[in-house]
Amino acid sequence: MNSNEMTMPRAIIPDTPGFHARRRLKQEAWFLLFRGAVVINGLALFIILGYMVYYGLPAISWDFLTGQPTEGGMAGGIFPCIVGTFYLSIGSMALALPMGVAAAIYLHEYAKPGLFMRIIRLCISNLAGVPSVVFGLFGMAFFVAARDLGGLGMGVSIAAGCMTLAVLILPVIIGTSEEALRSVPDTYREASLGLGATKWQTIFKVVLPSALPGIMTGSILSISRAAGETAAIMFTAAASYNPTLPSSIFDEVMALPYQIYSLSVSSTNPEASLPLQYGTSLVLVTLVLGMNLIAIVIRSRMRKRLSQ
């Protein structure tokens, strides 16, 4: 539009009550739509949870949670899956946490903005965006494959699964730890440095303790992420049927998410084990959402404390 043509005012903004009402109405209509979007999201969550609880709850019993699977996983309990998921998620967290926290400390406490920092950040965000099946293939070619094929020769095992998952959750841990470090006020650092402490002493004795709740949140979130991951453990750790508990970290394990997949898709008669699938899903969802809820509560408490 040509700027010296002043045709705007009269034509577009008539000052009548009807026009005002129409603008208000338009606003209300759009706001209703926005609320509708939120309701759809909420419904999606509650419908999915509702189905899992309604059909899954009847399948759950003490024997189901603590029993061995029988008939090739088509009946019996899911204890080995729970144990497997526990090993995989705790193991991967234990591997990724020190690395991730250290990386976050470097990024937030030491690094100066510049090209190197930009590259590291780019790598972290790209690592977070790598499809989980690609992690699975990477783990297979690197950790699982025999040495003469260019891998580390761990075989399909807990160890290989944990390492693959550790790479997958590394960005989660770095992100949340950095947020935790950012929430520590600079005055803490200044006070400690002012008293003559070195940078490392300041970080270790002042900054890290204050950031601990945030770091804990991150580790809980990463455990829950690892626990629900399927594609990354398919070729690195998971066995579809292995009723005995693993005796070493070089054993294959059953895992909850892989169990759901293998029963519902690749078994010969998925209908027959449907209650079992719902029950397993309910257990997994409860674990994952429970951990997320805990993380959310810790974080909101932390934020409240900070804003005071």
Footprint on residues 174-193 left by another protein (CB under 8 A): 174
**Which residue, 120 or 245, is less far from another protein as judged by CB?**
120
**Which residue, 284 or 302, is less far from another protein as judged by CB?**
284
235 in Cβ contact with 157 (< 8 Å) = no
Indicate the burial class of 17 (C-beta count within 10 angstroms; 0-12, 13-18, 19 or more). exposed
Stretch near another protein under the rule CB under 8 A, chosen from 70-78, 125-133, 181-189, 246-254: 125-133
Stretch near another protein under the rule CB under 8 A, chosen from 36-44, 72-80, 187-195, 207-215: 36-44
Q: Does 102 interact with another protein (rule: CB under 8 A)?
A: yes
106 in Cβ contact with 207 (< 8 Å) = no
**Which residue, 175 or 247, is less far from another protein as judged by CB?**
175
Q: Which residues contact 140 (CB under 8 A, 6 or more apart)?
A: 235, 236
141 in Cβ contact with 221 (< 8 Å) = no
Count of other CB atoms within 10 angstroms of residue 298:
15
Stretch near another protein under the rule CB under 8 A, chosen from 1-9, 63-71, 180-188, 275-283: 275-283
Residue from 74, 90, 208, 289 in contact with another protein (CB under 8 A): 289
Q: Does 141 interact with another protein (rule: CB under 8 A)?
A: yes
Rounded-to-10 torsion of CA 234, 236, 239, 240 = 10
80 in Cβ contact with 253 (< 8 Å) = yes
Residue from 216, 253, 284, 302 in contact with another protein (CB under 8 A): 284
Q: Does 137 interact with another protein (rule: CB under 8 A)?
A: yes
